[in-house]
Structure 1
Amino acid sequence: MNRRDWIRSAVASAALSRGALGARVEAKKRILLRSSWQTVNIGDVAHTPGMLRLLEQHLPECEVTLWPSSVDNGVDEILRKRFPKLAIMPKTGEAKAEAFKTHDFLLHGSGPSIVGQTSLVEWKQKTGKPYGIGGVTWTYTPEGLKVIDGARFAFFRDSVSLGVAKEHGATCPVLEFGPDATFACDLVADAPAEAWLKEVGLEEGKFVCCIARQRKTPYWEVKPERKFEPETQAYNDQMKEHDIAPLREAVIAVVRQTSMKVLLCPEDATQMKLNRETIYDKLPEDVKPRVVWRKDYWLTDFAQSVYNRSAGLFGNEQHSPIMCIGHGIPAVVCRFKEQTSKGFMWKDIGLEDWLLDHDHDEPAQRLTPIVLSIINDPAAAKAKALKAKAVADARMKRMMDVLRGELGI
């Protein structure tokens, strides 16, 4: 080969290499994450950063765009701070059309149901591209079953929901238990949290958290567009003492029988008032000095930093306990039927002893001893929390492995 031919061959090889590289760049898989359902609840906020962290850990070579319902109230900022490369889809028809054209897979994030069900249907009808469902609670509907059957995979965050899908003959290729992605949420705001804890006199490891909740969330208190619902209010009032008195008794026992303090804190924006009226205001005067009532709502990062410095958490909510277990902090869940079957995920990850059911009056007898046992044997409680975290982590990795297979990478 003469010099001229060698040069031509080298140029051609270089061009082919550039073309191959370009093809590899263009073939980079793009995931559209349907999530971020609302921002008045730190748990609803936490679904999204949890799933984003899983994608970051297990599929770092993929590009991810968030298709949100809501990222207001400062959520946009905390997501962009933690995930600076994240693209958030604007709420325009043009942006949606472009996302549908350029993305390879639609992943439905964790939620209380298949919240974005219509979005999955629209995606399938307009693109024919695959989609999957990651970590939801589900109650049977014919429409929902069709959406599950059309998915490449469906992970349910509690075994009850998984059982419902199987009972109704769901034909999705992968039907499995996959915990709420909130277990993977790692948003923190350490500096402001530490400053606030110092301000209110709470020392790391020397307080426990408590959250009260009503049977049905009175959204009209925080969402101007929601009308007052007298029947809901009446039902909440009827059940309020039944559901929250066990929490109040546990708070009293913690203060009188241990050296711990108690923080009354919210998971959603309606609960500051509830904590005050149903717990703090009804405490004996000798107990109140060692109980801190948080009067302001907080976002997920701030709350997580506080939980991480606590000795544990108990209450009528689900996602603050998930945030705790995800960081190895003991947490007790008191459920009732209005919260759907999501509470049973505690059994699924080995925390059946820390799951109480208000519909069977168990918290009234068992909650205080359980909370005291966590405080009195912190090493055993920590080990139990970490063991449950490991179960959740393994199942979430399984979900990411299935997604990787569907993407062909």
Structure 2
Amino acid sequence: METRRTFLRQTPALAGLLMSLPALARLADKKTILLRSSWQTENIGDIGHTPGVLALLEKYLPDAPVRLWPMHVDNGVEEMLRKRFPRVTIVQTPADVARAFADCSFLLHGSGPSLVARPDLDRWHRETGKPYGIYGITFPGIYGLPADRQTVNPLDVELLNQARFAYFRDSVSLDFARKAGVTNPVMEFCPDGAFAVDVKNDEAAVSFLRQHGLEDGRFLCAIPQLRFSPWWELPQKKLAVNPAKHARNEQMKEHDNAPIREAIIAVVRQTPMKVLLVPENETQVRIGKEMLYDPLPDDVKARVVWRDRYWLTDEAVSTYRRSAGLFGLEMHSPIMCIANGIPAIVCRFEEQTSKGFMWRDIGLDQWLFDMDTPADVARIVPTVLKMAQNPEAARKTVAQAQKFVQKRQQETMGVVRKALTAS
């Protein structure tokens, strides 16, 4: 025994190596997740999927290294993600992708409007034979068509069936998948990844709010929208105008935005609240001015702020957290509000696919309105007014939805862990 002790004292490098063997073994056992996500940067919701899923992986699989394989992280998004998740490697070049395919044990398709990365899942499956999973998508996600008139790509069905799990972010998508022939044994509802968003930019948010006289808890946020986001207005998209979509937008823009405008007027005239008009995607900066701000009566306009520029998810979240609630014609700003304990009302229409029904799925039926149903439209103003006048009751409603969402997050991340361990 003394000889062994003497030997170890005389060879400290070897002693250190021997002592580190268990740690090295644990390190070697760690399996890396490749997250395919980050679909575009002109929409804070599409940006929000990624930090949401990364936050869930950090919380429930803290020992698993994660590499992010994004479609787009320009316009300041990469910097935002690196600030919040400094340990996450971002895969950007073809060489990075090749290394990730070799090194990673499991590919996770993040939340999105469809099976966005279908070609990449197919490539991963064919080239590596390694397992993969799908975390919270709308399916099939063809914009402009109701579910009963949508068709499905046979490759989608094949990839969904071969996944270790196939999670859908709304019950309508789940039902559609079953009818389309998806028979994956682990196929359930899973909240959109953006429900876990916790990025923040308090400095930017506080500066803007102070500049415009908006006090914490004393303003609501409102979001406009058209039936189809006019992406052709953004030079970076390099898209031609879609005549049919543009015509539909023009036909319905007053019908859809007038109730939001009426709710703004009611809030300003009947409560102490102010209203901040915000964009979820970059095109809504213009739409907000045209459809919500400019037509307001002067007495109302004096207490309404139009945000005249696009922002990133972190500043948006920090702003929403300081608001008394949100309402409008979008989906992911409400999701990020609920994630942070803030009341949010969703107004949807047929062209937005079935994603809006996740509000019903998490127990917020009373805050979901169909713009194609007159009875629903008639209830928007009184519901917004009630939210503004009874903030404590509204937050209790949020808390119930949060509890359900967090339970599903824990359960589904348990399945992710099990799939990673078995890979």
TM-score (ref. length: structure 2): 0.92
Residue ranges of structure 2 left out of the alignment (5+ in a row): 141-151
Distance change >3 Å, CA 6–CA 224, structure 1 → 2: closer
Which of 302, 305, 314 is residue 301 of structure 1 equivalent to?
A: 314
SS of residue paired to 2:294: helix
Aligned residue in 1 for 2:366: 353
**Conserved 8 A contact 1:255-1:262:** yes
Contact 1:246 1:363 (8 Å CA) reproduced: no
Which residue, 339, 349, 365 being the options, matches 1:326?
339
Equivalent residue for 2:194? 182
- Aligned twin of 2:242: 229
Q: Is the 8 A contact 2:169 2:190 kept in 1?
A: yes
In the alignment, residue 112 of structure 1 is paired with which amino acid? Answer: P
C-alpha distance in structure 1 between counterparts of 2:5 and 2:386, whole Å: 82
1:210 is aligned to 222
Whichever residue aligns with residue 53 of structure 2, its letter is M
| Aligned residues of 2:370 and 2:377 also touching (Cα < 8 A) | no
After TM superposition, the structure 1 stretch with the greater mean CA deviation from structure 2, 398-407 or 63-72, is 398-407
Q: Quick check: 16-25 or 332-341, which moved more?
A: 16-25
Structure 1 residue 17 displacement after superposition: 6.4
Structure 1 counterpart of 2:43, which letter? N
Counterpart of 1:28 in structure 2 is 30
Is this contact kept in 2: 1:212–1:247, CA < 8 A? yes
Q: What is aligned with 1:197?
A: 209
SS at match of 1:208: strand
Deviations 1:274-305 (A, max 9, x none): 01111111111121101111100010000111
Name the residue aligned to 2:181: 169
Q: By how many angstroms is 1:166 displaced? A: 1.9
Once residues 136 and 5 of structure 1 are traced to their aligned partners in structure 2, the CA distance between those partners, rounded to angstroms, is: 59
Residue aligning to 1:266: 279
Is residue 2:134 matched to residue 1:121? no
Q: 1:230 to 1:22 in 2, by over 3 A?
A: same
1:238 and 2:238 are equivalent in the alignment = no
Q: Among 397, 401, 407, which residue is 2:410 paired with?
A: 397
| Cα distance in 2, alignment partners of residues 17 and 174 from structure 1 | 42
- The answer (yes or no) to whether the contact 2:369–2:377 under 8 Å persists in 1 is no
Identity over the aligned pairs, expressed in percent? 52
Instruction: Please give the alpha-carbon distance, in whole angstroms, between the structure 2 residues aligned to 1:146 and 1:265.
Output: 40
Q: Per-residue deviation at 1:24?
A: 2.4
**Deviation sequence 1:93-151 (CA, Å, 0-9, x none):** x2211110000000000000010111111001000000000010002332211110010
Is structure 2 residue 338 aligned with structure 1 residue 336? no
**Cα distance in 2, alignment partners of residues 5 and 315 from structure 1:** 72
Structure 1 residue ranges without an equivalent (≥5): none
Q: Contact 1:154–1:174 (CA<8 Å) still a contact in 2?
A: yes
AA aligned opposite 1:120: L
Distance 2:344 2:232 in 1: 29
Displaced runs of 4+ in structure 1, greater than 3 A?
A: 1-8, 11-21
Alignment RMSD, CA only?
2.0
The equivalent of 1:131 in structure 2 is 132
Give distance in 1, aligned partners of 2:199 and 2:180: 37
Contact in 1 for aligned 2:220/2:324 (Cα 8 Å): yes
Q: What is the CA–CA distance in structure 2 between the aligned matches of 1:384 and 1:2, rounded to whole Å? A: 69
Instruction: Name the CA shift for 1:4/1:178 in 2 (closer, same or farther; >3 Å).
Output: closer
Residue 241 of structure 1: CA displacement? 0.8
Cα 1:283–1:22 shift into 2, 3 Å: same
Q: Counterparts of 1:375-394 in structure 2 under 5 Å?
A: 375-394=388-407
Tell me by how many angstroms 1:248 deviates: 0.7
What number of residue pairs does the alignment pair up? 407
Task: Verify: 1:90 aligned to 2:92, yes or no.
Answer: yes
1:6 to partner: Cα distance = 10
The SS at the match of 1:389 is helix
Cα distance in 2 for residues equivalent to 1:15 and 1:51: 36
- Conserved 8 A contact 1:183-1:322: yes
Whole-Å separation in 2 of the counterparts to 1:204 and 1:390: 24
Equivalence for 1:103: 104
